[in-house]
Amino acid sequence: MELDRKYEDAYLFLSNIYVEEERYEDAVRELEEAIKLLPDSESLYALLGYIYQEYLNSYPEAYKMYERVFDLNKSSVRHKQNFAEASLTTERFEQALYLVKDILRDKNLSSEGRLSMKLIEISSLLFQGKNTEALTGIKWFIEYYKSITEDYKRSWKYNSIKNFVSKNDKIGQSEKTLVLRLIDILESPKSEADEKLKKLESSLQGIFEPWQKGT
């Protein structure tokens, strides 16, 4: 077991170096070799899924990795969060919603965790044409963000969701713009995000009216 752990650490260390050097294909190769030796390693599957998801935009491959690591440890909130994101970007919207609902029950979930999961929920609803439900989620997002009194540490990356939404023609431009505005808020320092949030809140009625008319 200790030897396996040393192998795992060595592969993770080298793969992370490749990621820092933007040698993503090399990192994938190393991790795939490592998984052959250590087929039950959560860390190896998680990192490989992360590379596929955030850097290579290979969403079906990322989904496979995140599904595997989730099966290995269903109690891990982070694995479940990653699986929810992968479900969104492979257009498994009902599954994404199911996972998000379960994650949001966790009373110990961080502010960033709640907001990122709400983003996945809103996006999934928009892709399903459930705009009224999405608007309810957006209002919750706004009120929750306003309740945060101090800035918080950001670790979640939104590259894959931005890419997925921007290049997908299954939702309209107004819906795309809305999701991207939410991501911009999440990526901004809180002092800047607060101002962006106010602008979003003031524009909600203008966004909502066309949706009511079905346009």
Cα distance between residue 32 and residue 39, in whole Å? 10
Query: How much is the pTM?
Result: 0.92
Shared domain for 26 and 121, answered yes or no, is no
Range of the domain at 59: 1-75
Number of domains in the chain: 2
Same domain, 64 and 164: no
Instruction: State the DSSP string of 91-152.
Output: T-HHHHHHHHHHHTT-TT--HHHHHHHHHHHHHHHHHTT-HHHHHHHHHHHHHHHHH--S--
**Rounded to a whole number, what is the distance in angstroms from the first to the last CA of the chain?**
59
Residue 48 within a domain: yes
User: Of 75, 90, 114, which marks where a domain is finished?
Assistant: 75
CATH of the domain at 23: 1.25.40.10
Residue ending a domain, among 75, 108, 127, is 75
27 and 67 assigned to the same domain: yes
Per-residue pLDDT of the chain (215 residues; tens, 9 = 90+): 444 567 788 889 999 999 999 999 999 999 999 999 899 999 999 999 999 999 999 999 999 999 999 999 999 999 999 999 999 999 999 999 999 999 999 999 999 999 999 999 999 999 999 998 999 999 999 999 999 988 888 889 999 999 999 999 999 998 999 999 999 999 999 999 999 999 999 988 777 676 655 54
150 within domain boundaries:
yes
Out of 21, 42, 75, a domain closes at 75
Handedness of CA 26, 28, 33, 37 (dihedral sign): positive
Tokens standing for residue 121:
């929920």
Same domain, 41 and 102: no
Strands (E), the chain: none
